[in-house]
Amino acid sequence: MKRKTEILILGAGLSGTLLAAQLEREGYSGEITLLDARTDFSQEQRWCSWANPLPVLAPIIKKTWHRWKVVDWNFSTTQSSLTMPYRQIYAPDFYSHFHSRWKSQNRVSLVLGEKVLRVEEKSGIVKVLTDKTFWQAKLVFDARGNFYRLKNQVILYQTFLGFLAEFTHSVFDTETITLMDFRLKGSSKLASCINFVYILPYSETEALIESTSFSQTPVSFDVHRYLLNEYIKEHIGSNFVVKREEKGMLPMTVAKPQCYSNRAICIGISGNAIRPSSGYAFHRIQRQVSQIASALVKGEEIILESALSKYDILDAIFLELIVSNPSAVKESFLRMFSLSKPDVLIRFLMDESSFFDDIEVISTLPKMPFLKASWQVLKRKELKCNESKSLDFALSDSMDKPARKLAV
Ligand SMILES: Cc1cc2nc3c(=O)[nH]c(=O)nc-3n(C[C@H](O)[C@H](O)[C@H](O)COP(=O)(O)OP(=O)(O)OC[C@H]3O[C@@H](n4cnc5c(N)ncnc54)[C@H](O)[C@@H]3O)c2cc1C
């Protein structure tokens, strides 16, 4: 049996669901179908960001923090911002909010438990083969959250595992998150570059405590579990229970592979929305879906940013440095987060910085290591041009290409 729809979104995760919600909000009148292989959306996950959230997210932002700290053995810095708080969306709340609305209002057709097997385009029509049927759509958005198209272009993997832990006594300052705590004993034995702990406190006794690594080969979740237990016992306390676990793996690269055609468009992680040096994608996903929805409603071209941005250049240098000189990177994080104007750094991290913000951030960084890393990045670009060889470091893949314009 063949099924037809106008817009078909493959993957009802963060970017797919948000695109459907944004199209609905903008008043898109065509038929929208949102399809996912999953039927269970209760998996432990949260998305955090300093970015101003899209209005469709306002009812589900339950947690915000105004203060954050970065910690090492001999140093710690705490910063705050009244204007740019760190906001969290809890994934199960996000899914139940939109699913219950679409079940009762029928504005978006939700098709769950159906796995996409193939996507192809013929004569301006996109066909999608699933394990249940054939779909035909005018426009397909692939939001399946995978990064297989990056192939060997991933420079580093960000792996993380967190415990939602409850303690028997008060141990947390509920106003302050820990963005990075480098005091992870045992991590120096790992073949990873950077390891730290991230803590989101929900009450004086409960927090998400997460071990994170940036490494050339992924660090296993068992190793993260071990490191985390050691860290908690040493720095927080021994009387706790793990209520749930959150885990994930993200690619860190500035490569921007093209996706399908002008009628089948990748968004979210599949659409290069991850900030290469941090793994944050939430702010870019919000921007991406907002631009797409607005263009579709106005009947304008969708412009996908595939050209190299200033952030890609800086991130390429940062990734190079993580691989070649991780201790300089640790020092850089400590210095950046000590900046006397925290909003400057936050704008930089959220891709909203001005030229003067960039200068302020860059001026905090250790000069020689960054110059060396910049030179390495430039050399690689040159090698690619001269030898037209495929290199593992894929900066040049995204260079010199204009932003892709799509007729809708
Ligand atoms: C645990 C975790 C925490 C994160 N926290 C943050 C954060 O705090 N801040 C931040 O900025 N970024 C964060 N990220 C990074 C990023 O924001 C998330 O990965 C985000 O979910 C990416 O959205 P997406 O839509 O691209 O993919 P997903 O949200 O992963 O959605 C992909 C969807 O596609 C479906 N799917 C996959 N294959 C198929 C198929 N063949 N057929 C049908 N459906 C399919 C999946 O079931 C899934 O529902 C986090 C990532 C993880 C894994």
Question: What Å distances lie between residue 3 and 123, 128, 134, CA to CA?
Answer: 18, 10, 6
Atom of ligand 1 nearest to the CA of 16: 25
Asked if residue 208 has its Cβ within 6 Å of ligand 1, the reply is no
Write the DSSP symbol of residue 186.
T
Q: Which one of 19, 47, 161 would you pick to mutate in the ligand 1 pocket, going by the greatest count of ligand atoms within 8 A of its CB?
A: 47
R_g (Cα) of the chain, nearest Å: 22
- Are both 190 and 168 inside the same structural domain? yes
* 172 C-alpha to ligand 1 centroid (Å): 29
Distance from Cα 250 to the centre of ligand 1, integer Å: 10
| 319 Cβ below 6 A of ligand 1 | no
Strand ranges in 146-239 using DSSP code E only, listed in sequence order: 156-167, 176-181, 192-201, 206-215
Torsion (CA) 23, 249, 272, 384 in degrees, nearest 10:
-170
Query: Which of 115, 278, 282 for mutating ligand 1's site (highest number of atoms within 8 Å of CB)?
Result: 282
Ligand 1 atom showing the smallest separation from residue 144 Cα: 34
The atom number, within ligand 1, closest to the CA of 283 reads: 11
Q: Are residues 292 and 162 in the same domain?
A: no
Return per-residue pLDDT of the chain as tens, 408 residues.
Answer: 789 999 999 999 999 999 999 999 999 999 999 999 999 999 999 999 999 999 999 999 989 999 999 999 999 999 999 999 999 999 999 999 999 999 888 789 999 999 999 998 877 788 999 999 999 998 999 999 988 778 778 889 999 999 999 999 999 999 999 999 999 887 667 766 899 999 999 999 999 999 999 998 899 999 999 999 999 999 999 999 999 999 999 999 888 877 777 789 999 999 989 999 999 999 999 999 999 999 999 998 887 776 668 898 899 999 999 988 888 989 999 999 999 899 999 999 999 999 999 999 999 988 898 899 888 888 876 444 333 332 223 333 332 233 333 332
DSSP state of 216: S
User: Which atom belonging to ligand 1 lies closest to the Cα atom of 248?
Assistant: 53
142 and 283 part of one domain: yes
- Domains in the chain: how many in total? 3
Of 241, 274, 304, the one marking the end of a domain is 304
Instruction: List Cβ neighbours of 298 (8 Å cut-off, separation of 6 or more).
Output: none
The single-letter code of the amino acid at 195 is: N
Task: Please indicate, yes or no, whether residues 115 and 43 belong to a single structural domain of this protein.
Answer: yes
Residue 18 lies in a domain: yes
Interval between CA 290 and ligand 1 midpoint (Å): 18
Residues 212 and 232 occupy one common structural domain: yes
Q: What are phi and psi of 67, to 5 degrees?
A: -130, 145
CATH of the domain at 285: 3.50.50.60
Residue 31 sits in the same domain as residue 44: yes
As beta bridge partners, residue 247 has 161
Instruction: Indicate the pTM of the whole model.
Output: 0.91
141/267 Cα distance (integer angstroms): 7
Inside any domain, residue 226: yes
Secondary structure of the chain: what % helix, strand, coil (to 5)? 35, 30, 35
- Domain check: are 6 and 134 in the same one? yes
What residue's CA is closest to ligand 1, atom 10?
280
Give, for 117, the enclosing helix (H) or strand (E): strand 116-122
Residue-wise pLDDT tens digits, 229-263: 999 999 999 999 999 999 999 999 888 877 777 78
Domain assignment present for residue 84? The answer is no
Measured in Å, residue 369 CA sits from the centre of ligand 1 at 34
Q: Is 16 in the pocket of ligand 1 (CB under 6 A)?
A: yes
Residue 242 lies in domain? 156-252
My answer on whether 170 and 41 are in the same domain is no
Q: In the listed set 212, 232, 252, which residue is the last one of a domain according to the structure?
A: 252
Is 41 contained in some domain? yes
DSSP string, 38-52: -S------EEEESSP
DSSP state of 148: G
Kindly provide the b/e burial profile for residues 70-106, where b requires at least 16 CB atoms within 10 angstroms of the residue's own CB. Answer: bbbeeebbebebeebbbbbbbbeebbebbbeebeeee
Beta bridge partners of 48: 88
**CATH classification at residue 212:** 3.30.9.10
Q: Domain check: are 282 and 348 in the same one?
A: no
Ligand 1 center–CA 13 separation, angstroms = 6
Whether 47 is in the pocket of ligand 1, judged by its Cβ within 6 Å, is yes
For residues 200 and 248, state if they share a domain.
yes
Q: Is 77 among the domain residues? A: no
Residues 264, 119 contacting (CB under 8 angstroms): yes
226 shares a domain with 274 = no
Q: How far is the CA of 14 from the centre of ligand 1 (A)?
A: 6
Q: How do residues 337-375 score in pLDDT, each as one tens digit? A: 999 899 999 999 999 999 999 999 999 988 898 899 888
Q: How far is CA 77 from CA 181, 306, 327, in A?
A: 11, 36, 18
Atom number, ligand 1, closest to the C-alpha of residue 12: 49
DSSP, residue by residue, 40-87: ------EEEESSPPPGGGGGGEEEEESEEEEE-SS-EEEEE-SSS-EE
Nearest-CA residue for atom 47 of ligand 1: 38
Classify residue 66: in a domain, yes or no: no
Whether 38 maps to a domain, the answer reads: yes
Residue 82 lies in a domain: no
Q: Report the alpha-carbon distance of residue 357 to residue 361 in Å, rounded.
A: 6
Smallest CA separation from ligand 1 atom 6, residue: 47
Residue 154: what pLDDT?
A: 81
Tell me the DSSP string of 217-267.
Answer: SPPPHHHHHHHHHHHHHHHT-S-EEEEEEEEEEEEE-------SBTTEEE-
Please, are residues 248 and 281 in contact by the beta-carbon 8 Å criterion?
no
223 Cα–ligand 1 center, Å = 23
Do 179 and 297 share a domain, yes or no? no
